């Protein structure tokens, strides 16, 4: 979501004539878009701001702004702690960003704007072809994010999101369809729908599944993904849509956080291990090729060795394709701090995290190795950054594929069949079979 917000800031400022500077030294506006979901990310904001202080001394006209979740959480405290900061703006003020910057530039002093907008729906101006025209043809994206809902009503006890992103709000389905259509008309082949609990989307009788059906009908949209769904809101209708709609990829990132019922209850996740596994079973039954990934928090207060082993056994049962895993990070204002549970010492949490990640590496490699010798459909996103002689793209199951092509044609945006030759830990390697589908 943050990545998408940064894109929006860039687009909005481009429309006012701003261009990306080559470095901070050449910039007359520095924007930090921030995340406060873990302490480390929040801490980084203050370090980065410290680095920018000498630039402001050299160039007093430089504007430094902080947006995103840390801005929403800290508000005026940020302005008073960082004297060279000019602007603090929350996630609900992104669309006002160009005006806010202008106000600072016109000398209306330092500004703080971080208020949630009222109401249960939200609007985003659609990115129009004019904004695409600002990009040279070769740089136009093949994949795009589209925010469909934001905020969260779930209040898991470890999570700061409802406090910094506000309550759940959904976007009008017509607005979403218009935006996806505009993206597809401008060369986008794959769209990822975004929301903190994306499948909780509902707008006046239009459910998430219904929205998928409407988007699937858009001609030229090859692939549709969504992130991150909330397990309890994975309905049978959604499972069927995933199996039946041709654009919806056979892939789901379904955050579980822990395999222990005791921990899930303390986290207030709203489901048990058994209920979660039942959803996984249904997903696999209707979509036998589905790729499943998840999030884990290790070392939540009160987590015993037995609880952690429950997490490992859940991993063994599901055999995830990949996982995102972190040590628990306490966040101000969250309920976990008031549960009176004993903290898990840092070294124990880190050791558990290492064990979990080592186990997952084996599962991921096993899955990747099973693909060697087979062909996979890859949507080509461009040249590989680590080796420009290779092309890079993703499979429908969201695996990164780097591959060599025997033909010298520009493959960006094409769907190609790649013969898989080698499995690595973070990607797979292959060679392009010269049978381009589109």
Binding site for ligand SF4 (CB under 6 A): 152, 154-156, 159, 161-162, 196-197, 230
Closest to ligand SF4 by CB, 180 vs 267, is 267
Distance CA 372, CA 405 (A): 17
Distance CA 333, CA 335 (A): 7
Distance CA 215, CA 174 (A): 10
Closest to ligand SF4 by CB, 96 vs 153, is 153
**Residues paired with 248 in a beta bridge:** 224
Closest to ligand SF4 by CB, 258 vs 364, is 258
Closest to ligand SF4 by CB, 54 vs 333, is 333
In whole angstroms, the minimum distance from the beta carbon of 168 to ligand SF4 comes to 9
Q: Which residues of 67-89 are buried (b: 16+ CB within 10 A; e: fewer)?
A: bbbbbbbbbeebbeebebbbbbb
Distance CA 249, CA 306 (A): 36
Closest to ligand SF4 by CB, 334 vs 364, is 334
In whole angstroms, the minimum distance from the beta carbon of 196 to ligand SF4 comes to 4
Peptide bond into 228 cis (omega under 30): yes
DSSP character at residue 139: G
* Number of Cβ atoms within 10 Å of the Cβ of 148: 26
Closest to ligand SF4 by CB, 152 vs 194, is 152
In whole angstroms, the minimum distance from the beta carbon of 352 to ligand SF4 comes to 20
Q: Which residue in 189, 282, 165 sits closest to 234, CA to CA?
A: 282
Closest to ligand SF4 by CB, 156 vs 183, is 156
Closest to ligand SF4 by CB, 68 vs 413, is 68
In whole angstroms, the minimum distance from the beta carbon of 151 to ligand SF4 comes to 9
Separation in Å, CA 263 to CA 70, 76, 222: 27, 35, 40
In whole angstroms, the minimum distance from the beta carbon of 325 to ligand SF4 comes to 14
In whole angstroms, the minimum distance from the beta carbon of 287 to ligand SF4 comes to 23
Q: Which residue in 419, 3, 319 sits closest to 401, CA to CA?
A: 419
In whole angstroms, the minimum distance from the beta carbon of 160 to ligand SF4 comes to 8
In whole angstroms, the minimum distance from the beta carbon of 418 to ligand SF4 comes to 34
Closest to ligand SF4 by CB, 162 vs 393, is 162
Distance CA 414, CA 432 (A): 11
CB within 8 Å of 156: residues ≥ 6 apart:
257, 267, 268, 269
Separation in Å, CA 413 to CA 157, 226, 364, 392: 42, 20, 27, 11
Closest to ligand SF4 by CB, 203 vs 230, is 230
In whole angstroms, the minimum distance from the beta carbon of 270 to ligand SF4 comes to 8
* Number of Cβ atoms within 10 Å of the Cβ of 377: 17
Separation in Å, CA 203 to CA 91, 116, 169, 227, 228: 21, 19, 9, 18, 18
Q: What angle do CA 23, 27, 28 make, to 5 degrees?
A: 170
In whole angstroms, the minimum distance from the beta carbon of 346 to ligand SF4 comes to 22
In whole angstroms, the minimum distance from the beta carbon of 366 to ligand SF4 comes to 29
Q: What angle do CA 130, 132, 135 make, to 5 degrees?
A: 120
Closest to ligand SF4 by CB, 162 vs 166, is 162
| Strands (E) located in 235-287 | 251-253
Q: Considering all CA atoms of the chain, what is the largest pairwise distance in Å, rounded to the nearest integer?
A: 63
Distance CA 3, CA 144 (A): 11
Closest to ligand SF4 by CB, 160 vs 318, is 160
3-class secondary structure, 95:
helix
DSSP character at residue 356: H
In whole angstroms, the minimum distance from the beta carbon of 394 to ligand SF4 comes to 24
């Amino acid at each position: 979501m943050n990545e998408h917000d940064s894109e929006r800031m860039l687009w909005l400022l481009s429309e006012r004539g701003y261009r990306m500077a080559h470095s901070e030294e050449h910039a007359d506006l520095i924007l930090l878009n921030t995340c406060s979901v873990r302490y480390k990310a929040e801490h980084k904001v203050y370090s980065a701001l410290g680095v920018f202080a000498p630039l402001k001394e050299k160039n007093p006209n430089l504007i430094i702004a902080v947006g995103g979740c840390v801005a929403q959480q800290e508000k005026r405290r940020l302005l008073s702690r960082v004297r060279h900061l000019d602007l603090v703006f929350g996630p609900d003020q992104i669309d006002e960003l160009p005006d806010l910057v202008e106000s600072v530039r016109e000398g209306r002093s330092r500004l703080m704007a971080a208020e949630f907008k009222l109401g249960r729906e939200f609007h985003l101006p659609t990115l129009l072809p004019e904004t695409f025209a600002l990009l040279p043809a070769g740089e136009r994206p093949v994949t795009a994010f589209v925010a469909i809902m934001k905020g969260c009503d779930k209040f898991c006890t470890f999570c700061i999101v409802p406090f910094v992103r506000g309550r759940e709000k959904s976007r009008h389905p017509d607005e979403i369809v218009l935006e996806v259509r505009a993206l597809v008309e401008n060369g986008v082949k794959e769209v990822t729908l975004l929301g903190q609990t994306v499948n909780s989307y509902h707008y006046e009788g239009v459910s998430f599944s219904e929205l998928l059906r409407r988007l699937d009908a858009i001609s030229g949209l090859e692939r549709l993904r969504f992130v991150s769904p909330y397990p309890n809101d994975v309905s049978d209708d959604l499972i069927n849509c995933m199996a039946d709609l041709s654009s919806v990829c056979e892939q789901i990132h379904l955050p579980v956080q822990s395999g222990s019922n005791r921990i899930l209850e303390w986290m207030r996740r709203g489901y048990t291990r058994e209920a979660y596994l039942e959803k996984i079973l249904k997903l696999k039954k209707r979509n036998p090729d589905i790729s499943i990934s998840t999030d884990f928090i290790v070392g939540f207060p009160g987590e015993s060795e037995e609880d952690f082993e429950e997490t490992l056994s859940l991993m063994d049962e599901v055999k995830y394709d990949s996982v995102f895993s972190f040590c628990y990070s306490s966040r101000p204002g969250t309920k976990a701090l008031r549960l009176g549970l004993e903290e898990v010492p840092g070294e124990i949490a880190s050791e558990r995290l290492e064990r979990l990640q080592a186990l997952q590496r084996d599962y991921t490699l096993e899955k990747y190795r099973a693909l060697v010798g087979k062909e996979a459909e890859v949507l080509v996103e461009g040249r590989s950054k680590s080796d420009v002689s290779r092309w890079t793209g993703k499979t429908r199951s969201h695996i990164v594929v780097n591959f060599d092509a025997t033909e010298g044609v520009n493959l960006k945006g094409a769907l190609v069949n790649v013969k898989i030759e080698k499995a690595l830990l973070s990607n797979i390697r292959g060679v392009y079979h010269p049978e381009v589908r589109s």
